[in-house]
Amino acid sequence: MRKHMASFEIDCTAYLNADGAPLGDLPDFAGDTETVVALYRAMVRTRAFDTKAIALQRTGRLGTYASCLGQEAIGVGAASAMEPGDVLLPSFREHAAQLRRGVTPVESLLYWGGDERGSDFAGPRNDFPVCIPVASQFPHAAGVALAMSLNREKAVAVAIGGDGSTSKGEFYEALNLVGLWTLPAVFVINNNQWAISVRRREQSAAKTLAQKAIAAGMPGEQADGNDVIAVRDAVSRALARAREGAGGTLIECLSYRLGDHTTADDARRYREDEEVKAHWKEEPIARLRAWLVAEHGWSKTDEESLLRGAADEMDAAAEAYLATEPEQAASMFDHLYETLPGDLTTQRAEVSDG
């Protein structure tokens, strides 16, 4: 005898089509002009940051940088749903979320320009710095969520990783625990379809990445990652669930990496320009702009003023970054331990400038 033991469904949330036309009823917050304009501003600001960072790298004034071009709605949607007391644990591509959380462009440029002080954020003091070893931030999120839960904080740990990160053991191990212990953690996947040169379909035979949550005994869903309203809505619902003590959620946001993996990569080696061009028609900023123009009276003057303001802010940030004096060489010792062990004072003296 065989009997049916389990089945599952995965839903995908989407509100605006690629042209910015509503697909149906929108969530309540979408009716508030101030809220949706703020989402738009945050995405435009992120793109201005991205453009500036790449320009600085191309002219030898920034280190290797991972662009988030085309994926701005994911970070902005997720971060805008979060409370200040929540904790963000971003991968290296989530500038949108970091900026929206209050990391300054100067801090971020400092980090990508090779200065550790860039991760000493003045703003979200409990947020984690970007995580470069893929998926290793998910166990941290489980630990932060455990601490929040033990401290009765009513806060949520939000980790963001790429599609490739869902193939890693640390992703599964952490997901399993969040499900098992009903921890207040939300895992957001920026599925931009590419892990450097490996396509999403070459990463996993799973039909969706969201369904990986099912094996962990927790909800998983998709959202249109080019639709900031959909991302914000899905993450808001997940955060509310987590705050109520109902546990975590995995949210796979479907988007597309319009840029190279990093400035050290040349995506033309492994994908056709035609494919990229087709995805430009779905990118999140033009889509929201079309809808803002149609539904929220967004004018040409509003647009020009926003673009100019964002460009000016990033010009000023770049100047401030470039004008930042490097740390003293001995600083490499100063945060190794709370108190520097005796023998290391000799090494420290060797590089000391003063």
Residue 4 annotated to the active site: no
- The reply to whether 116 sits near another protein by the rule CB under 8 A is yes
Shortest Cβ distance from residue 351 to another protein (Å)? 14
Q: Which of the 8 DSSP states describes residue 22?
A: B
Residue 261 annotated to the active site: yes
- The reply to whether 243 sits near another protein by the rule CB under 8 A is no
- b/e per residue, 111-127, with b = 16+ CB within 10 A? bbbebeebeebeebeeb
Per-residue contact flags (x/-) with another protein for residues 59 to 98, judged by CB under 8 A: ----------------------------x-x---------
Q: Which of 212, 306, 196, 315 is nearest to 261 (CA)?
A: 196
- The reply to whether 144 sits near another protein by the rule CB under 8 A is yes
What number of chain residues touch another protein (CB under 8 A)? 44
- The reply to whether 324 sits near another protein by the rule CB under 8 A is no
Binding test (CB under 8 A) with another protein, winner from 307, 322, 332, 349: 332
How far is residue 24's CA from residue 165's CA, in Å, rounded to a whole number? 32
Q: Which is nearer to another protein, 31 or 114 (CB)?
A: 114
Stretch that binds another protein, among 18-26, 167-175, 205-213, 248-256 (CB under 8 A): 167-175
- The reply to whether 101 sits near another protein by the rule CB under 8 A is no
Task: Read off the tokens for 240.
Answer: 């509310």
**Coil, helix or strand for 30?**
helix
Binding test (CB under 8 A) with another protein, winner from 148, 195, 210, 228: 148
- The reply to whether 146 sits near another protein by the rule CB under 8 A is yes
**Coil, helix or strand for 315?**
helix
Q: Which is nearer to another protein, 89 or 238 (CB)?
A: 89
Q: Which is nearer to another protein, 133 or 297 (CB)?
A: 133
Exposed, middle or buried by CB within 10 Å (0-12, 13-18, 19+), for 335?
exposed
Stretch that binds another protein, among 5-13, 20-28, 119-127, 205-213 (CB under 8 A): 119-127
Binding test (CB under 8 A) with another protein, winner from 117, 154, 279, 348: 117
- The reply to whether 174 sits near another protein by the rule CB under 8 A is yes
Q: Which is nearer to another protein, 58 or 335 (CB)?
A: 335
Please answer whether residues 158 and 78 qualify as being in contact, where contact means their C-beta atoms are separated by less than 8 angstroms.
yes
Task: Read off the tokens for 223.
Answer: 């959202």
Q: Which of 257, 287, 289, 296 is catalytic?
A: 257
Task: Read off the tokens for 254.
Answer: 């479907």
> Residue 61's CB: how many other CB atoms inside 10 A?
14
Stretch that binds another protein, among 1-9, 12-20, 173-181, 233-241 (CB under 8 A): 173-181
How far is residue 137's CA from residue 91's CA, in Å, rounded to a whole number? 7
Sole residue written with tokens 């207040």 = 184
Q: Which is nearer to another protein, 9 or 337 (CB)?
A: 337
**At CB < 8 A and 24+ separation, what contacts does 296-301 make?**
296/33, 296/36, 296/37, 297/33, 298/37, 298/40
How far is residue 23's CA from residue 229's CA, in Å, rounded to a whole number? 12
Q: Which of 93, 140, 261, 289 is catalytic?
A: 261
Sequence-ordered list of residues with C-beta below 8 angstroms from that of 155, at least 6 positions apart, any chain: 83, 85, 86, 87, 148, 184, 243
Binding test (CB under 8 A) with another protein, winner from 170, 227, 233, 283: 170
- The reply to whether 150 sits near another protein by the rule CB under 8 A is yes
Shortest Cβ distance from residue 339 to another protein (Å)? 8
Residue 270 annotated to the active site: yes
Q: Which of 168, 45, 22 is nearest to 189 (CA)?
A: 168
Active-site residue set: 257, 261, 270
Interface positions with another protein (CB under 8 A)? 87, 89, 116-117, 119-121, 125-126, 128-129, 132-133, 136, 138-148, 150-151, 157, 169-170, 173-174, 176-177, 180, 332, 335-338, 341-344
